């Protein structure tokens, strides 16, 4: 292997693929990045056996070759190297990296020990605007469960219907749903993608041009996301996603509309005093105002008041503060709309400028 690569391109590709490098000591090769020089490009891949990311870099390739190199050491060398280009050459299992001011030799592991990165011969299932997919993932994935006790709850539902993609996630205490208009879809399909996969995808997409498209390919057990010269492959989660539509109220008795920034500030203030009482806060909805309180705990208590347009009467209802703060942080409009029925029914939260988004939070049971 012998090639010359622009340092900025090298660093960008390494930053994308090294996110999924495993820390498993039982399989040292998973700590490495696979580097292959072939057909005038440098291909780099990394995997933790659940997610794999590959990136291609255009460079001057004088001879082909393949090796795996410790990801952290390689990344540190390339990222701290401010020279314009880096020459790489392979001698056995040693990779030599040389630039104008720096030179290093890094010992690698034979590429034959590296897991095979999955490929698919399936045709493109759909293409989605990068900005729209990124935004939908951001608004939904945080509602997925953080553990694998029930694997389907650690994933995000992708439901493809005629000219629409619906994303939904729930940890059984809250639900987030976003819809994207897409070009005609070949067939209706439902799959569950690990939330961690989508969070990694969004980190990758943050480094590419957002005016492009993400191509999605789906086979029986895996999903492939391709954007520019980067591809992410992930396993799918087996099982059926909960039928959550039955818990979404068809109507509401009480509603309010308030400034998002003011509501978020009040929620954060109450949360400061609710840490030692399981983040338990209470919302008091009265004519023309929303009052947010934290119950008396070891740290004390607090009360915040904000102006709100209300209808339907008064209500006192308790929530986990984190469930409300999380959604306020991702709403994009100026006004939050909240709908209630009683203190034991779900609250529906939406935004004045995004009618394709819905959030549901279950209230807490409290002793009055």
- Report DSSP letters for 203-238, one per residue: HHHTTS-TTSEEEEEE-SSEEEEEETTEEEEEEPPP
86-127 pLDDT, tens digit per residue, is: 999 999 999 999 999 999 999 999 999 999 999 988 888 899
Q: Sort residue 139 into left (φ over 0), alpha (ψ -120 to 50) or beta.
A: alpha
Burial of 245 (0-12, 13-18, 19+ CB in 10 A): exposed
Rounded to the nearest integer, the mean pLDDT of the chain is 93
Instruction: Name the residue with tokens 């023309």.
Output: 288
pLDDT tens per residue, range 14-45: 999 998 998 777 899 999 999 999 988 899 99
* Ordered structural domains, the chain, with CATH: 2-113 (3.10.150.10), 126-244 (3.10.150.10), 249-361 (3.10.150.10)
Report pLDDT for 76.
96
Take residue 208 and report the two structure tokens written for it. 């590419």
The average pLDDT across 179-186 equals: 86
pTM of the predicted protein model:
0.93
What's residue 368's pLDDT? 53
Report the C-alpha dihedral over residues 270, 273, 278, 279, rounded to 10 degrees: 20
In this predicted model, which residue has the larger pLDDT, 19 or 165? 165
Mean pLDDT, range 323-339, rounded to an integer: 95
Number of residues that this document lists for the chain = 368
Cα–Cα distances in Å, from 25 out to 22, 113, 258, 338?
A: 9, 14, 51, 49
**DSSP per-residue codes, 60-120:** EEEE-EEEEEEHHHHHHHHHT--SSEEEEEEETTEEEEE-SS-EEEEE-B-GGGSPPPP--
* pLDDT, tens only, 251-309: 999 999 999 999 999 999 999 888 767 889 999 999 999 999 987 667 788 899 999 99
Cα-only R_g, the chain: 25
């Amino acid at each position: 292997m012998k090639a010359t690569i622009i340092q900025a391109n090298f660093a960008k590709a390494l930053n994308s693929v090294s996110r999924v490098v495993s820390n498993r000591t039982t399989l040292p090769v998973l700590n490495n990045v696979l580097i292959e020089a072939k057909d005038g490009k440098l291909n780099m891949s990394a995997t933790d056996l659940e997610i794999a990311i590959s990136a291609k870099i255009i460079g001057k390739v004088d001879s082909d070759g393949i090796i795996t190199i410790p990801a952290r050491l390689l990344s540190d060398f390339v990222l701290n190297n401010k020279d314009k280009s880096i020459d790489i050459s392979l001698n056995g299992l040693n990779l030599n990296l040389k630039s104008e001011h720096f030179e290093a030799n890094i010992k690698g592991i034979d590429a034959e020990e590296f897991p095979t990165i999955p490929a698919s011969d399936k045709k493109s299932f759909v293409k989605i605007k990068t900005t729209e997919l990124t935004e939908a993932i951001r608004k939904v994935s945080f509602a997925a469960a953080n553990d694998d006790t029930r694997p389907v709850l650690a994933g995000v539902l992708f439901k493809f219907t005629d000219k629409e993609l619906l994303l939904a996630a729930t940890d059984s205490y809250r639900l987030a749903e976003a819809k994207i208009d897409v070009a005609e879809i070949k067939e209706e399909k439902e799959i569950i993608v690990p939330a961690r996969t989508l969070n990694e995808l969004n980190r990758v997409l943050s480094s590419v041009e957002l005016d492009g498209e993400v191509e999605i390919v789906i086979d029986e057990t895996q999903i492939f996301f391709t954007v520019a010269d980067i591809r992410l492959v992930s396993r799918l989660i087996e099982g059926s996603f909960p039928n959550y539509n039955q818990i979404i109220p068809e109507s509401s008795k009480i509603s309010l509309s308030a400034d998002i920034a003011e509501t978020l500030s009040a929620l954060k203030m109450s949360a400061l005093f609710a840490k030692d009482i399981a983040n338990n806060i209470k919302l008091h909805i009265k004519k023309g105002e929303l009052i947010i309180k934290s119950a008396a705990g070891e740290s004390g208590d607090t009360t915040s008041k904000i102006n709100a347009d209300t209808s339907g009467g008064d209500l006192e209802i308790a929530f986990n503060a984190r469930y409300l703060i999380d959604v306020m942080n991702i709403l994009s409009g100026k006004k939050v709309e909240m709908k209630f029925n009683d203190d034991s029914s779900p609250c529906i939260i939406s935004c004045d400028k995004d009618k394709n988004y819905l959030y549901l939070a279950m209230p807490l049971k409290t002793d009055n």
